[in-house]
Chain A
Amino acid sequence: MLEIKDLHASVEEKEILKGLSLNVKAGEVHAIMGPNGSGKSTLANIVAGKEDYEVTKGEILLNGEDMEELAAEERAHKGVFLSFQYPVEIPGVTVTNFMKTAINETRKAQGLEEMPAKDMLKKIREKSELLEIDRKFLSRSLNEGFSGGEKKRNEIFQMAMMEPKLAILDETDSGLDIDALRIVANGVNKLKGGDNAIVVITHYQRLLEYIVPDFVHVLYDGKIVKSGTKELALELEEKGYDWIKEEINA
């Protein structure tokens, strides 16, 4: 599904990713953990197509296709979804209208007809129930005045609506209380299937109790320095990152 090969990327001439490789197959859940400033969000943004970064070396392949030349919206059309660490407030555009536009623009790009209004409403109802989102919420301006937890829940609602092939969750657990965490994790787990993949970026092991990863990677100083199974996450939780730093520097 997603193959990242020796990726080097910089922003304003400062190299942030320094030879990152990652291979995510359909049906898998990968967790990427690491200390602050290790390049986790950069990785998420680059895969989603943010233009502020310069890829200096390496490649990102989605189902074998090089993504370098693809704009953010084209990646979305091919099934990439990023749940933002800091979702942006867009006053004047309601959640419902935003989703209608996003879905229909994507369908248009895929050569499909617009989704009939009735189906759209049904889907919105279904997915908002899944994420336990109040109906009133849907007619509010996107993210405007939402609490941190509401914003994150709204991200996963959007994910549920878009049904992506590759979902990248960037610190989706930050700002969530335990109930919200469970709801969000449930929403993510519903998406899981044989033909899509999920990459969870997180600081803490907490989320991984609910979204159980097949693989855990440690990102440090722009590279993946250690990979393992879910037990690695527990070890990190217990011992912090210092032992990894020591291991590398040794």
Chain B
Amino acid sequence: MELKEKLVSSFLAFENTVDIDAPVHDIRSQAIKVFEEKGFPTKKEEAWKYTSLNTILKHDYSVFPKEENALEFKDVKKYFLHDLDTYKIVFIDGIYSSHLSETTHDKIDVCLMSSALTKDKYKPLIDNYFNKIARQDGLSSLNTAFSKEGAYIYIPKNKLADKPIQIIHFSTGKESSLLLQPRNLIIVEENSHVQIIERHQSLTENQVLTNSVTEIFADKRAVVDYYKIQNDNQNASLIDNTYIEQQAQSLASVHTFAFGGNITRNNLNFFQKGEGIDSVLNGITIIEEKQHVDHNTLVHHTAPNCESHQDYKGIFDEKAIGVFNGKIIVNKEAQKTNAFQSNNNILLSDKATINSKPQLEIFADDVKCSHGCTIGQLDENALFYMRSRGIGEKEAKALMMYAFANNVLESVKIPQLKSRINKLIANKLNVDIGFDL
């Protein structure tokens, strides 16, 4: 049976595990119909021209985790930012691990989507926000249909989340192939701040496909910083659908560090709904072998005097494939918009590929929009310069790649995270540079 049919028929079984009388279940039932109609995207669709899901859809995925699996902290410690005090929402094979987590209901809510979707006290917020900005496409609808678990974060008015929040999804490989569909909802009210770090980590070589949906609402003057670490092993694929709605004068940033995995697709969407908004989309992609990373971004400017800044850097070795498709829409009303986009790439091998495509749809006449894309190799003169100072070829290359990615790292606001990303890059490049940039 094809995966699509299997999923549609699994929906009946899924309904046995949730309260089908809850209003949210109408949304699910609606969504499974949309998925049934639209299915998985194919390369015929413009937005999927360079990324095919065929190879990862052919596996016979388990759709529901059968049993609760336990992990010892010491065994997975390295995947945490453990030198930093954080809240933690941890899932193992899609099931919440209270043992590894540290949640709170003190002034702010850092807890579980399963609670938010079922408990009465969350109902007004769920009614207001759940599935309000996720696109009604096949993948997001599939996630909505099976939405049950994930992270739920609510920061009420005038509150600073007192520490960053880590959301970590482990898969243990108990199932030979596993489909995970986390659903996150993050609501940050007026003047509030939050920092979130998200990571997906498979612990074995078994197949994992994650189809994740995250909806983020940043109210007036809210500040949201979201960091995604994508450094999974070669049999783990990720489709990340993130939707962010921003109200006036809010600042939202998403950093995506894509260093691993099989196929990774980031659908990152910003919807600006007021004046004076700033949206930041930064990414570093460093991949090799046959890895495939596709960044598909959308920034929709609908009101005057807003900004968006996109800076994606990519380094591709061996047969790696990168895709950057950045769409900016500026509505007629959105005068004085400043929208910047840059996508710079280094190809280290003749067989590596990058497809870079800016898409600007500008309907206002008084705007500053710029986009730039570069594709190149490492500068031979610079390499010789460094080597003539005694720096070995491998280290010199690494240093140049660090330098290339540096301005994206600069904007990471959590020092421990920055240092971790530095280490991940050093590991990736197989060097010890000896200092953080």
Residues of A within 8 A of B (CB): 48-51, 71-73, 75-77, 80-82, 84, 87-93, 97-98, 100-106, 109, 114, 141, 158, 162
**In the bound complex, do residue B387 and residue A72 qualify as a contact, i.e. CB atoms below 8 Å apart?**
yes
| A90→B403 contact, CB < 8 A | yes
Residues of B within 8 Å of A97, CB to CB, are: 435, 437
Contacts of A89 in B (CB 8 A): 382
Q: Does B388 contact A (CB under 8 A)?
A: yes
Chain A residues closer than 8 Å to B388, beta-carbon distance: 48-50, 72-73, 75-76, 80-82, 84
Give the chain A neighbours of B403 by CB distance below 8 A.
90-93, 141
Residue of A72, A76, A106, A114 ringed by the most chain B CB atoms within 10 A: A72
Besides A82-B388, A93-B437, A106-B389, 20 other CB < 8 A contacts? A49-B387, A72-B384, A73-B388, A73-B396, A76-B387, A76-B388, A84-B385, A89-B382, A90-B386, A91-B406, A92-B437, A93-B402, A98-B386, A100-B434, A101-B391, A101-B395, A101-B399, A101-B434, A109-B390, A109-B392
Distance A102 CA – B392 CA, assembled complex (angstroms):
9
**Do A162 and B437 touch (CB < 8 A)?**
no
CB distance from A161 to the nearest CB of B (A): 9
Answer whether A105 and B391 are a contact pair too, CB < 8 Å, given A84-B385, A93-B437, A100-B435: yes
B26: A residues at CB distance < 8 A: none
Q: B392 touching A105 by the CB < 8 A rule?
A: yes
Q: Is the CB of A90 within 8 A of B385?
A: yes
B379 adjacent to A104 (CB under 8 Å): no
CB distance from A124 to the nearest CB of B (A): 14
| Chain B residue at minimum C-beta to C-beta distance from A168 | B388
Is there an interface contact between B390 and A77, defined as CB atoms closer than 8 Å?
A: yes
Chain A residues near B405: list those with CB within 8 A.
92
Whether B393 is near chain A, meaning CB under 8 Å from some CB there, is yes
Secondary structure call for the B interface: helix
Q: Of A50, A71, A102, A141, which is within 8 A of B389 by CB?
A: A102
Distance between Cα atoms of A100 and B435 in the complex (Å): 9
**Residue in chain A with minimal CB distance to B387:** A72
| Residues of B329-358 contacting chain A, CB below 8 A | none
User: Does the CB pair B387–A88 fall under 8 Å?
Assistant: no
B407 at the interface (CB under 8 A from A): yes
Any A CB within 8 A of the CB of B381: yes
- A105: contacting residue among B382, B395, B400, CB under 8 A: B395
Per a CB cutoff under 8 Å, which of A50, A73, A91, A141 touches B391?
Answer: A73
What are 5 A-B contacts defined by CB distance under 8 Å?
A: A71-B393, A90-B382, A98-B389, A98-B399, A101-B395
CA of A81 to CA of B407 in the docked complex: distance in angstroms? 30
Complex Cα–Cα for A48 and B385 (A): 10
Contacting residue for B384 out of A50, A105, A106, CB 8 A: A50
A114 CB, nearest partner CB in chain B, Å: 8
- Report Cα–Cα, A105/B405, bound state, in Å: 22
Residue contact B385 to A73, C-beta cutoff 8 Å: no
Interface residues of B in 371-429 (CB under 8 A from A): 379, 381-382, 384-393, 395-396, 399-400, 402-407
Asked if B126 lies at the interface with its beta carbon under 8 angstroms from chain A, I say: no
Checking B379, B433, B434 against A88 with a beta-carbon cut-off of 8 angstroms, the contacting residue is B379
Residues of B within 8 A of A48 (CB): 384, 388
A91 nearest CB neighbor, chain B only: B403
Whole-angstrom CA separation of A71 from B391 in the bound complex? 11
| Cβ-closest chain B residue relative to A141 | B403
Q: How far is the CA of A41 from the CA of B145 in the complex (A)?
A: 68
